[in-house]
Structures are given as C-alpha cells and as structure tokens.
A and B are shown apart, each in its own frame.
Chain A
Amino acid sequence: MRNQSPPAAPDEVEGNASVNGEAKAVRPDDGARTAQASLLSTWQVVAWVAVGVTLVALPVVQSGFALVVLMKIMYWGLFATALNITAGYGGMHSLGHSVFFGAGALLAAQSFAQPLSVVPVLLLAVLACGVLGIGFGLLSIRRSEVYFVMITLALAGLVYEVGFQWRSVTGGYDGRFVPAATLVPGGTSLDRVGTYRVLVVVFLLSMFALWVLMRTPLRSVLFGIQSSMPRMRALGYPVKRLQLNAVVLSAVFAGVAGVMAAYGDRFVSARFLQWEIGALALIYVIIGGEGRFWGPVLAVALFVGLEQTTGAVTAYWHIVLGALMILVLLFGRAGIAGTATAFTSRRLSSRMSRRRV
C-alpha cells in the first residue's frame, strides 16, 4: 500500500471523517459552522485592509525597482496559489497551468479594435480561462491521477505548439510588447506606479476571494477527495464535478495572474505557454507547502525576491529550485509554510494517512 502524509491543519478542528476512520454524514453546508466559529473575523478584515493600504501607499517611499519586484512576486504568487487549489488542496498535480497563465497574458497583450481597459480585459480572461478550464478538466479528470498528470502535460505541449505558430497573437518565440493598462477605455495609459497600484488591487481581491473560499467546506471536501475518493462518493459528493470545479477555479485565477504579468512586465511571448512556467509554479507550490494557503506566496516572495535582488542567472536558479523541490518531496512535504506552522505550534502535525485503493 502506498501511504502519503498530506499537510494537516493543527490549528483547526476538522469536520470531516479522517481522524477515527469512520464516515460521518456531514451535509456540505454545515461544515463551515462546524469547522470554525466564523468565516471572517473583524481582526482579519482589518489585517487585509491594512496590508492593502500599505502596499498601495508604498510607491511614496519606494523606488521603481522595488515596485517591479513586488509586481513579479504578486503575479507569480497568485499563479502559484491558484495552482495550489488543484495540486495542493485537490491533489491533482496539473502540469498544464501554463495554458491559463499564458492565455491571460496573451489576452492582455492584444490590441483590440476598440482599446480595452483593465476591467474588461480581466473579465475576458476570466471567461476564456473558465472555458479553457472546463475543456481541460473534462479531458484530464477522467481516470486516475497518473493520467491527469500525463494529459495535462501533453495538453500544455499542444497549446504551446499552437501558440508558437500563431505569431499574430503571441509574437511567437520573440514575443511582443504589451500596451500599457488603462483604467478607462481609451483613457490615459498608466505609468509604472499606476500599474503597480492596479495590480495590488487585483492581487488582493483575488487572494482574498481564494482565501475566503479555502475557509469554507470546499477545503475539507477537496482534502477529502484527495484522501479517499471512494469514501467521498459513498458520502454522496459528486466527486468528478467537484474536481472539475477546482480545476476551473484555479484556471480562472491563473488567467488573472497572467493578465497581471502582461501588464507588469509589458512583454509577452509564446514562452509564457511553455511547460516550464507551469512546472515552476508547481515547484513554488511544493516548496511553499502544498495545501497550505500562504505557502506558495511565501516561497514566491522568498525565491523571486532573491532572484531579482541578487541578479542570479536564470538557468542556474532553476536548477537550484528543481533540486529544492526534490528535497522537499523526499524529506517530508511540509514545505516552508508547513515547517513554520509546526515550529510555531510546537507540536507534531497529526498525520492523516492516505491510502490509494
């Protein structure tokens, strides 16, 4: 039997069944009240707003380079967090999320007949990635997780080949410049500070939405599916539909991250569709701690920050990251966030054993 220890949450009471092995008949809509007192406390809202205000006000004291680094951290962080939904929470390690990230970025790069401002572009990206996510999910969720990994990899390859050839849209391998973001259709282009502030708002709104979602029963349900699909089916959950929902949700936010990347870097190319982009996001997820909400962002902040400030050569850097992922996989999957949690709570996380039937 192959066992696995996914991340546990020592600071919350789990409303699901794994602790004593029995299945409890939990209706999907009363899990939130069982799991914690409330979805959102006043202090948490204050914290979110405080972070938002600080980030938006930052350009007053910080120079352009810090803003560039922060923008990179934000879009990679959102991308990795979105991937965490399928890979960490859902247990479906998708190697194809470069499709959604690239689609969002390429959408933002297009010059439409009528110039579009930020909000319509975002809405378009959400719609496009939602549709792509449904197609993706329907093809890949069919059988076991092994097939899922293989098919997502192959689909990423397919989209890359198409994008590589479709030079009018992607600029091929050489890429193309992205028109600056505008707040109003046909309005003035935003400068770097303005773009940064818009990205902060988009980032915080997206992360907040995902954060709230992962405090609902959805989190337990996804962990449950990862833990034992037959058990969840026996409990009456529509497992395949829930998996598809997870894929579409993460696809949409990966697309939003792609839009952010395009506006932040002002440059896109077919390289955004390469599998290495999706693999890199997966590496951040694993190093940060799968299934832990802030794990990927922490990993991104640390490594992207280091990469940008030390000027590390990209190829060597990727080698280091790949090696780190292997180490995390081999020696406990707590990752950065998991180790921090274990450290601060001073007790061993309970290990849910996961058996594959």
Chain B
Amino acid sequence: METLVQQVVNGLAIAMLLYIVAAGVTLLFGLGNVLALSHGATFIIGAYTGWAAQARGVGFLLACLAAVVVGVSSGLLLYGLSMKVRSDLALVDRGLVLLGVGFIVADLVVVVWGGGIRSQRPPPFLAGSVEIVGMVFPTYRLAVAGMGLLTALVLYLFIQRTRVGIILRAGVWDADMVQALGIRFRALFVTVFVAAIALSSLTGVLASPIMNIYPGLDFRVLSLALIIVIIGGLGSLAGAFAASILVGLTVSLGAAMWPAAAAALPYAVMVVVLTVKPTGLAGRMLVDA
C-alpha cells in the first residue's frame, strides 16, 4: 500500500513537471500557431546547465536562476529565428526551424557535456524524506508535486481571472480579432513565448534530481509533452493538466509494475485516445488546413 502511494506521489511529481512543459507547447500553439518542437531541447539545456552549475558548487537556487537566464536567451533567439527573420514563414516551416534547433541541440549536448548519464542529488534543504500518516515520502518529490500543483493553480487563476488572461484566452480563440480591437497582442505573445521557453529550461533543472540527465532525454520529454498535448487537445490547458496527470501516473506506476512496457505505455494511451476521440479530451475543433 505504501509503495503504491509513493508511486502515485512520484507520478504526480513527474506529471507536474511534464505539465509545465506541455502547457508551454499547447499555449504557444493556441496563441501563435507555433509548433514548439524545440521544447525538449530547451529542457535538456536547462538540465545540463543546472547540473554543470551545481557540479561547480553553485547552489540550487542560483543554478535555477542560471537555467532561467539561459532559457530567456534561447527564447529570444528562437523567437527571432522562427518569427522575425521571415515573418511570412508558413506554420509548418516555423515548426521545422524549431525542429532543426532541436536536432542541433541533441548533438550539441553530446559535444559539450559528453554522452554519459548524469545524476543530480536534490538540494540540501529539500533532501531526505518526510513521514506523513505513517508513510515515508522523498521530500523533493513531494515538494515538486506540491509546487507543480501550485503553479497549475496560479496559471489557472491567471488565465481565468486577470485581464491579461482574458486577452490570452481571446487570442487563442481569434488572434486577429484581438489585434483588431487595438490590443498589443504581439508584445504579449513575445512575452509568453520567451516565458514558456524559460519555464521549460527551469523545469529541466527541477527535474534533474528525479530524472537522470542523458543525451536522449530531450526527445523523451518532447514526445511525452506532445503526447500530453495530443491527449489533452491542442490549445487546452485544462486538457493538458488532466492528460499530464494521466501520463505521469502511467510512467510512474508502469515503471513499477511493468518495467519492460513502461516506456511504451504513454504512447499506447495516446493511440487509444486518438482512435476514440481525435480532438483530444478537451481540444477545440481545428479546421483542416
């Protein structure tokens, strides 16, 4: 029983980390029709940056800050590449540019940091374990799960209750009309773009005590995020939240109960959802191109 609850907490921690990445992907697509195929790359760059910083004795929080700085710079660079250099670039081409960046980064991390697996210990103030109702949980995973839920809540309130949130929701629905109403949507979009990328880098640092860092991690995280986005529905944050809980629990419980198939299980769930409900759990209807 205790193992089951521990696996559930572990799954929730993974789910929350994946949610932040997937939320970025789905939001960027909803707002600007950008297919963020570079999110795995920015995730792994953040993870390696944080690991390299902590390996040199830098504290955890400063390492997080370093990852955010790297994320913001990457975000600006990626925005410039995909949106500004050729402003008339077709949607898929923008996605392919970002994919190219992802492809480059996949080899870049091997060149810079080598091909081995890196592991990272949790920071001292979150290390160890706590005991709740007689069951023992690793402190760090509890903290990540809790922080993730808090982030999701803050994001929800932001989107639903603030003026900026209303503009974002309207932008997902019809970006042209929002601009026609005189709202400076472009500036807002750039901010969201850069913030999403910086968040994915930060998530990389936060995830490193839970997941080992290795050269294929960027693709694994990207494909899990895409699975979440597909299951939850493109453009829907609530769908992404539900889907990430589903995927996180699948990954964690699957690893415990059926290790050989664990890696393939999230994909199988995606295939099932695709055949039954192609728009995803809560997706808006997309018009065929």
Which chain A residues (129-178) contact chain B, with CB distance < 8 Å?
Answer: 139, 142-147, 149-151, 153-155, 157-158, 161-162, 164-165
Choose the segment among B91-99, B138-146, B159-167 that binds chain A (4+ C-beta atoms closer than 8 Å).
B91-99
Alpha-carbon distance between A185 and B56 when the two chains are bound, in angstroms = 61
A229 in contact with B97 (CB, 8 Å): no
Q: A144-B286, A147-B230 are in contact. Are A319 and B278 (CB under 8 A)?
A: no
A356 in contact with B90 (CB, 8 Å): yes
B286 in contact with A323 (CB, 8 Å): no
Alpha-carbon distance between A2 and B93 when the two chains are bound, in angstroms = 11
A329 in contact with B35 (CB, 8 Å): no
Chain A contact residue count (CB 8 A cutoff): 50
Query: CB < 8 Å: which of B33, B35, B106, B286 contacts A149?
Result: B35
Alpha-carbon distance between A139 and B226 when the two chains are bound, in angstroms = 15
Which residues does chain A contribute within 8 Å of B85, judged by CB atoms?
330
Which residues does chain A contribute within 8 Å of B229, judged by CB atoms?
150
A146 in contact with B95 (CB, 8 Å): yes
Query: CB < 8 Å: which of B81, B226, B230, B263 contacts A326?
Result: B81
A105, CB-defined interface residue at 8 Å: no
Which residues does chain A contribute within 8 Å of B264, judged by CB atoms?
158, 161-162, 165
Chain A, residues 316-341, CB within 8 Å of chain B (1/0): the string is 10110111011001110100000000
A279, CB-defined interface residue at 8 Å: yes
B267 in contact with A143 (CB, 8 Å): no
Which chain A residues (330-355) contact chain B, with CB distance < 8 Å?
Answer: 330-331, 333, 354
B234, CB-defined interface residue at 8 Å: yes
A125, CB-defined interface residue at 8 Å: no
B237, CB-defined interface residue at 8 Å: no
Q: A139-B274, A155-B267, A319-B107 are in contact. Are A147 and B286 (CB under 8 A)?
A: yes
A357 in contact with B271 (CB, 8 Å): no
A3, CB-defined interface residue at 8 Å: yes
Which residues does chain B contribute within 8 Å of A139, judged by CB atoms?
271, 274-275
Query: CB < 8 Å: which of A4, A315, A331 contacts B90?
Result: A4
Which residues does chain B contribute within 8 Å of A95, judged by CB atoms?
99
Which residues does chain B contribute within 8 Å of A142, judged by CB atoms?
274, 278
Which residues does chain A contribute within 8 Å of B103, judged by CB atoms?
276, 279-280, 283, 318, 321-322, 325
Chain B, Cβ-Cβ closest to A91? B92
Alpha-carbon distance between A283 and B99 when the two chains are bound, in angstroms = 10
Query: CB < 8 Å: which of B91, B219, B226, B267 contacts A356?
Result: B91
A146 in contact with B234 (CB, 8 Å): yes
Alpha-carbon distance between A162 and B111 when the two chains are bound, in angstroms = 28
In the assembled complex, how far is the CB of residue A163 from the closest CB belonging to chain B, in whole angstroms?
10
Which chain A residues (2-17) contact chain B, with CB distance < 8 Å?
Answer: 2-4
A154 in contact with B230 (CB, 8 Å): yes
Q: A146-B234, A325-B96 are in contact. Are A2 and B267 (CB under 8 A)?
A: no
B110 in contact with A154 (CB, 8 Å): no
B274 in contact with A229 (CB, 8 Å): no
B104 in contact with A318 (CB, 8 Å): yes
Which residues does chain A contribute within 8 Å of B177, judged by CB atoms?
none
Which residues does chain B contribute within 8 Å of A146, judged by CB atoms?
29, 33, 35, 91-92, 95, 234, 286, 289
A316 in contact with B230 (CB, 8 Å): no
B93 in contact with A319 (CB, 8 Å): no
Which chain B residues (61-120) contact chain A, with CB distance < 8 Å?
Answer: 81, 85-86, 88-93, 95-97, 99-101, 103-104, 106-108, 110-111
B288, CB-defined interface residue at 8 Å: yes
Chain B, residues 157-183, CB within 8 Å of chain A (1/0): the string is 000000000000000000000000000
B104 in contact with A356 (CB, 8 Å): no
Which residues does chain B contribute within 8 Å of A286, judged by CB atoms?
96
In the assembled complex, how far is the CB of residue B264 from the closest CB belonging to chain A, in whole angstroms?
4
In the assembled complex, how far is the CB of residue B275 from the closest CB belonging to chain A, in whole angstroms?
7
In the assembled complex, how far is the CB of residue A317 from the closest CB belonging to chain B, in whole angstroms?
8
A323 in contact with B100 (CB, 8 Å): yes
Alpha-carbon distance between A143 and B222 when the two chains are bound, in angstroms = 20
Q: A4-B90, A139-B275, A147-B230 are in contact. Are A322 and B286 (CB under 8 A)?
A: no
B257, CB-defined interface residue at 8 Å: no
Which residues does chain A contribute within 8 Å of B267, judged by CB atoms?
154-155, 157-158, 161
Alpha-carbon distance between A52 and B93 when the two chains are bound, in angstroms = 37
In the assembled complex, how far is the CB of residue B69 from the closest CB belonging to chain A, in whole angstroms?
23
Alpha-carbon distance between A165 and B267 when the two chains are bound, in angstroms = 15
In the assembled complex, how far is the CB of residue A312 from the closest CB belonging to chain B, in whole angstroms?
12
Alpha-carbon distance between A266 and B280 when the two chains are bound, in angstroms = 43
A151 in contact with B230 (CB, 8 Å): yes
In the assembled complex, how far is the CB of residue B253 from the closest CB belonging to chain A, in whole angstroms?
17
Query: CB < 8 Å: which of A3, A275, A280, A316 contacts B219?
Result: A275
Alpha-carbon distance between A144 and B285 when the two chains are bound, in angstroms = 11
10 closest A-B pairs by CB: A158-B267, A157-B223, A322-B104, A4-B90, A161-B263, A322-B103, A326-B100, A315-B107, A144-B289, A318-B107
Binding site for A on B (CB under 8 A): 29, 33, 35, 37, 81, 85-86, 88-93, 95-97, 99-101, 103-104, 106-108, 110-111, 219-220, 222-223, 226-227, 229-230, 234, 260-261, 263-264, 267-268, 270-271, 274-275, 278-279, 286-289
21 contacts between A and B (CB under 8 A): A2-B90, A142-B274, A146-B95, A147-B230, A149-B92, A150-B226, A150-B229, A151-B274, A154-B267, A274-B219, A279-B99, A279-B103, A283-B103, A318-B106, A318-B107, A322-B100, A322-B103, A325-B96, A329-B96, A330-B97, A357-B287
